[in-house]
């Protein structure tokens, strides 16, 4: 999201305020980040109705509250408060494009190693972020020399900002070596996920994805894709431990996540998957996902929270 334009109104602990006023002191930067957790949510325009709808809002907010709880912060906001805040924020900013919504919670702290405050401050902001679903983007991925964090160290299930240093090491290494994305292995050598996205393989007509005990973030897009694949595309989906060499022997693979959306992986460690082009199953998933997030396919209305005008 490097070049993202942040919209002028920010929500902070119950109040809408101008972006310029939503500041903390520079001396807090490091320590506030240690205990912080966040979410990343997309809202998509429906090209037919011109309506903006937030995709899987409550699923993301539930995971946000779970992350806050697991880092032992106390949050004054309920799920409904956050849901209403997201709508108020989008109505205040009135985006005319697809956007990315970022809830963020942190506690003030004076030191890196202690918990001087348990009160979560919650901030939501919104930025423009164009969808790449129809851009034809592909990924040449590489298995990282960095190991994925594990549950009893820095639990990947918790969407904590500090976890993303592990992601940064892997993503930076992949880029430096001329790849698009990294794939991280667990300490046991099984496949986990990418730095900010989950993985799906297609072998023998089935989708296979590392299980939730494979040191992954319990991704909402992964769940969404599994449901679409089973219910709309009539595909079998298996969640299990995945070996590294399965990456090389799969006919197809793709990344999935809110930010990355659905991106076909066409090679891993310079070994082409299938014919080295996006596979048929991947393309079917990508198209179905695109149509559903935008509401062009009206099924799963419970996944889309239409922003609409202020009440």
Of 109 and 268, nearer to ligand PMP (C-beta) is 268
Asked if 95 is part of the footprint of ligand PMP (rule: CB under 6 A), the reply reads no
- The minimum distance between CB 193 and ligand PMP, in angstroms, equals 5
Of 31 and 221, nearer to ligand PMP (C-beta) is 221
Q: Which stretch binds ligand PMP (CB under 6 A): 22-30, 101-109, 135-143, 217-225?
A: 217-225
Q: What is the dihedral of CA 265, 268, 274, 275, to 10 degrees?
A: 80
Asked if 98 is part of the footprint of ligand PMP (rule: CB under 6 A), the reply reads no
Chain centre distance of CA 174: 19
Q: Is 36 exposed, middle or buried (0-12, 13-18, 19+ CB in 10 A)?
A: buried
Nearest alpha-carbon partner for 218 in 82, 60, 86: 60
Q: Is 277 exposed, middle or buried (0-12, 13-18, 19+ CB in 10 A)?
A: middle
- The minimum distance between CB 96 and ligand PMP, in angstroms, equals 24
Q: Which stretch binds ligand PMP (CB under 6 A): 5-13, 108-116, 195-203, 246-254?
A: 195-203
Contact characters 250-289, ligand PMP, x per CB under 6 A: -------xxx------------------------------
CA distance 183 to 140: 10
Residue from 31, 36, 221, 286 binding ligand PMP (CB under 6 A) = 221
Asked if 141 is part of the footprint of ligand PMP (rule: CB under 6 A), the reply reads no
| C-alpha triplet 309, 221, 40: angle, nearest 5° | 55
Residue from 120, 197, 263, 266 binding ligand PMP (CB under 6 A) = 197
Asked if 139 is part of the footprint of ligand PMP (rule: CB under 6 A), the reply reads no
- The minimum distance between CB 279 and ligand PMP, in angstroms, equals 20
- The minimum distance between CB 220 and ligand PMP, in angstroms, equals 4
Asked if 210 is part of the footprint of ligand PMP (rule: CB under 6 A), the reply reads no
How many amino acids of this chain bind ligand PMP (CB under 6 A)?
14
Cβ(148)–Cβ(156) under 8 Å?
A: yes
Considering only residues 28-47, where is the footprint of ligand PMP by CB under 6 A? 40
Asked if 193 is part of the footprint of ligand PMP (rule: CB under 6 A), the reply reads yes
List contacts with ligand PMP (CB under 6 A): 40, 193, 196-198, 216-217, 219-222, 257-259
């Amino acid at each position: 999201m490097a070049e993202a334009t942040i919209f002028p109104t920010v929500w902070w602990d119950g109040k809408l305020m101008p972006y310029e006023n939503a500041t903390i002191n520079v001396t807090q930067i490091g320590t506030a980040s240690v205990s912080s957790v966040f979410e990343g949510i997309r809202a998509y325009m429906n090209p037919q109705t011109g309506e903006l709808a937030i995709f899987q809002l409550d699923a993301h907010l539930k995971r946000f509250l779970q992350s806050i709880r697991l880092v032992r912060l106390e949050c004054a906001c309920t799920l409904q408060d956050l849901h209403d805040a997201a709508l108020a924020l989008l109505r205040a900013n009135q985006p005319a494009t697809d956007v990315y919504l970022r809830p963020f919670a942190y506690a003030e702290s004076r030191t890196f190693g202690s918990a001087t405050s348990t009160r979560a401050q919650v901030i939501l902001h919104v930025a423009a972020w164009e969808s790449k679903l129809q851009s034809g983007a592909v990924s040449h991925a590489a298995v990282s020399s960095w190991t994925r964090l594990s549950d009893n160290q820095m639990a990947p299930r918790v969407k904590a900002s500090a976890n993303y240093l592990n992601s940064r090491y892997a993503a930076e290494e992949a880029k430096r070596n001329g790849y698009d994305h990294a794939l991280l292995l667990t300490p046991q050598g099984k496949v986990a996920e990418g730095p900010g996205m989950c993985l799906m393989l297609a072998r023998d007509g089935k989708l296979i994805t590392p299980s939730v005990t494979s040191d992954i973030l319990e991704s909402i897009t992964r769940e969404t894709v599994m449901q679409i694949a089973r219910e709309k595309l009539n595909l079998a989906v298996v969640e299990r431990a995945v070996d590294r060499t399965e990456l090389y022997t799969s006919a197809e693979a793709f990344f999935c996540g809110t930010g990355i959306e659905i991106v076909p992986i066409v090679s891993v460690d310079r070994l082409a998957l299938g014919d080295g082009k996006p596979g048929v199953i991947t393309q079917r998933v990508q198209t179905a996902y695109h149509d559903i997030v935008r509401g062009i396919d009206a099924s799963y209305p419970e996944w889309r929270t239409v922003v609409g005008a202020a009440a």
